[in-house]
Structure 1
Amino acid sequence: MRWPDLPPLNSLLPFEATVRHASMTRAAQELHVTHGAVSRQIKNLEKALGVTLFERGTRSLRPTPQARRLAAAVRDALDQVDTAAREVSGRERGGPLALSCEPTLLMRWLIPRLPDLAVQVPGLTVHLSAGGGPVAFDRDPVDAALRRDDFPVPPEVSRSPLFPERIGPVCGPELARRYAGELDVVGVTILHTSTRPRAWADWQRITQRRVEPAGEQSFEHFYLALQAAVAGVGMAIGPYALVHDDLLSGRLVAPFGLVEDGTGYHLLSRRPPEQDQRIAALLSWLRGQAEGL
């Protein structure tokens, strides 16, 4: 035999799914088999390798470091087989594309543009979910994620740039008139968000402008702080993509302009766009939408 150390091949799919979900029950549901069938295959694999692959608790199942290493190799091998099979058959990767997007960007920028996606890319079905921060493509059930690059991205993750981040104070038009021609933010309530607590400090560092607020108020999410700014409560730091439509409509004004903060938004994916036509189509559309941001 050419591969004398290969474990039982029929155990690898249940094993990989169990590691990914940290649950035999969820692995069984994904594979449409019984919990007992998955459990037997895991035991067969552990017996063949001579190692324990999971730390079993009363109500928990934790993959060992050896299990995670083997599962990653199995996943990579299955990806290669899948890609080769599609190339041989001439079929494109099909099915809906699961896309994760930062919540406020999803609400204020992406969702309003979905009708155009349906027109421009009619064959693409996108399933959306809200999420932020790093993406574990080996565990999270997503194909791609729209993220700002404010965290390290593993080298194995494909990273396609979309547009730079531009930030600046935004407020309602009535409040903005008070600051026409002013250089500093003085005597106004400034609005913070717990998802980006250093937004004001970052803007002040970049612009070297003075910020002396009359008061401060914090919100859990960016979209709440921006809605408070629309309502005239005070000024919030507005990332351009999140306030673009409100600036065009006049609901918000950026009296001090907007500046790049050195970060940007990217489309992250487990597979490079050239290996998945769905991701390539989405990326092309996103870049078209991002022109001018």
Structure 2
Amino acid sequence: MASGIDLRKLPPLKSLKGFEATARLGSVRGAAEELNLTHPAITHQMQVLEADLGVKLFARKGRSLILTPEGERYYPYVLGALEQLLEGGAAIRRMASSPALRVQTYISFAICWLAHRLTHFRTLHPEIELRLATSGAGWDFDEDSADIGVIYRSEPIPAHLHWVKLFDSRFFPVCSPRLLADKPSGLCPEDLAHYPLIAVNSEDRYWNWSQWFESAGLKMASRAVPIVVDTLAMSLEMAINGEGVALVNGPLADNDLRSGRLVKPVDHFAEGQGQWGVICRKEIQHDIRVVNLTNWLLEVSQT
């Protein structure tokens, strides 16, 4: 992998470790004991680092060492770099210790979209063992319990995470074709107020019937009180059975629309606030299993 870093300009790692320990403990002796090195070895490392930077990093105060202003400025960079190395190593060791790639997503996304396609991925990559876990609608990616997540997100992505967009968020009504038996040409947005509406109960939902009606230039009629269910998968199943009109986000109804089990009663969609995407820690984004799964998800999301 190409890099823009000139490694020749980096100080030795052992000098950075010695600097961090000495600065934190305020003592060369303490740093030597912690790093299992001799007092002269730590002193030499500090001299090498100061010569490389061209500044003094420490000053003596009584029997202790304190950081100079230059040392104070340098310390956060060194600490951050060492912490990233530790976190990266821990992430790699976690993945190396488990033969399975831990994938987590929402229950409804797994049922309505992902499960129908995983056989194709297993055919392409039989060497990759997947461990799929599902969570409720309020779930956010937890890198301690999953290596990779497929998630709907509207907030900024944290700097330590890698994000690949899969879908834009568009939400629209769907229903059984039986519900439109006497309306072969479809409905107008205002007509939906006369049909049973199915809503998903989730406090963090960024799309709902009120927003959809508003996007169509309408106010949701007071008589249009939705049936509320726990999951999108349940709402789609009810719609397939002719129980009402469900509101779906993005691609989750693709399979049912293609099969004809569901149709779009109204030719109108609303733009959501978020996106569907793949998320993982930056340290593992180049792991071959993560790369293969991400590339496959990108490919099938376009079909």
Rounded Cα–Cα distance in structure 2 between residues aligned with 1:166 and 1:197: 11
- The equivalent residue for 1:95 is 99
Number of aligned residue pairs: 224
Partner secondary structure for residue 282 of structure 2: coil
Q: Work out whether 1:186 is the aligned partner of 2:193.
A: yes
Residue 285 (structure 1) aligned to one of 288, 292, 296:
296
Please give the TM-score of this superposition, normalised by the length of structure 2: 0.64
- The equivalent residue for 1:18 is none
Rounded Cα–Cα distance in structure 2 between residues aligned with 1:115 and 1:225: 25
Rounded Cα–Cα distance in structure 1 between residues aligned with 2:35 and 2:294: 36
Please give the TM-score of this superposition, normalised by the length of structure 1: 0.66
Q: Work out whether 1:77 is the aligned partner of 2:85.
A: yes
- The equivalent residue for 1:42 is none
Question: Which of the two has higher C-alpha Rg?
Answer: 2
What's the CA shift string for 1:164-221, capped at 9, x where partnerless?
1221111111113445343122311111111338411222232224543554211111
Distance 1:135 1:82, change over 3 A: closer
Any residues of structure 2 matched to 1:97-136 within 5 Å, and which? 97-131=101-135, 132=137, 133-136=139-142
**Residue type of the alignment partner of 2:187:** E
Rounded Cα–Cα distance in structure 1 between residues aligned with 2:91 and 2:103: 20
Paired residues of 2:207 and 2:272 also in contact (CA < 8 A): no
**Residue type of the alignment partner of 1:290:** S
Residue 217 (structure 2) aligned to one of 199, 208, 221:
208
**Residue type of the alignment partner of 2:212:** W
Rounded Cα–Cα distance in structure 1 between residues aligned with 2:180 and 2:283: 44
Paired residues of 1:103 and 1:130 also in contact (CA < 8 A): yes
What's the CA shift string for 1:113-156, capped at 9, x where partnerless?
1110111222221111112532232xx32111100113443122
**Residue type of the alignment partner of 2:262:** L
Q: Work out whether 1:217 is the aligned partner of 2:227.
A: yes
Paired residues of 2:180 and 2:265 also in contact (CA < 8 A): yes
**Residue type of the alignment partner of 1:232:** G
Rounded Cα–Cα distance in structure 1 between residues aligned with 2:243 and 2:200: 14
State the identity as a percent: 22
Paired residues of 1:206 and 1:261 also in contact (CA < 8 A): no
